[in-house]
Amino acid sequence: MSYPVTYYCPHCGAVVELEREGYLADKSVTPYPLAGWEYAEPDEDFEATDGVRFVCGEGGDEVDALRWTGERSDADDVEDPTAKSPCGRPFYLSFVRFVDGEEGEPRPEATHTTIAGGGPSQPRGTDGPSGPGGPSGFGG
């Protein structure tokens, strides 16, 4: 049996209602896709994927299971409550998914750092005075 469930755009707060099966558990709604998750459009078989990709304000006329309510959420995590609503930006509903009986977590995006230039070929010594007196200038 399907139920109407409401979500709001994390960019502008526009509220959307999606008709979906009750066995699906929500993980999160984010302005970006979770790494490793597969998303379907609201008019596709999203129950067979890891979530739904919405475009704020779009698809309500073409998709029976989707309705933009015209309401706006004032939740604290709305990126810009003063932005035009609906904003036309994508956002993502992610379902809880299980891997070998355990709840799967998104894997972080890989980040690679490139250090520019060759750098010194060996460490530099101290900048103090050299000699038998040491850096303080006094001999012992």
Splitting the chain (140 residues) into consecutive groups of 10 residues, what average pLDDT does each group show?
A: 90 93 86 91 90 92 88 89 91 83 62 66 65 59
Specify the pLDDT at position 57.
94
Strands 14-21 and 2-8: antiparallel
Specify the pLDDT at position 93.
94
At 66, is the secondary structure helix, strand, or coil?
strand
* Helix/strand/coil (H/E/C) assignment for every residue in 92-111: EEEECCEECCEECCCCCCCC
Specify the pLDDT at position 134.
58
Specify the pLDDT at position 22.
78
Specify the pLDDT at position 47.
86
Torsion sign, CA atoms 28, 23, 98, 59: negative
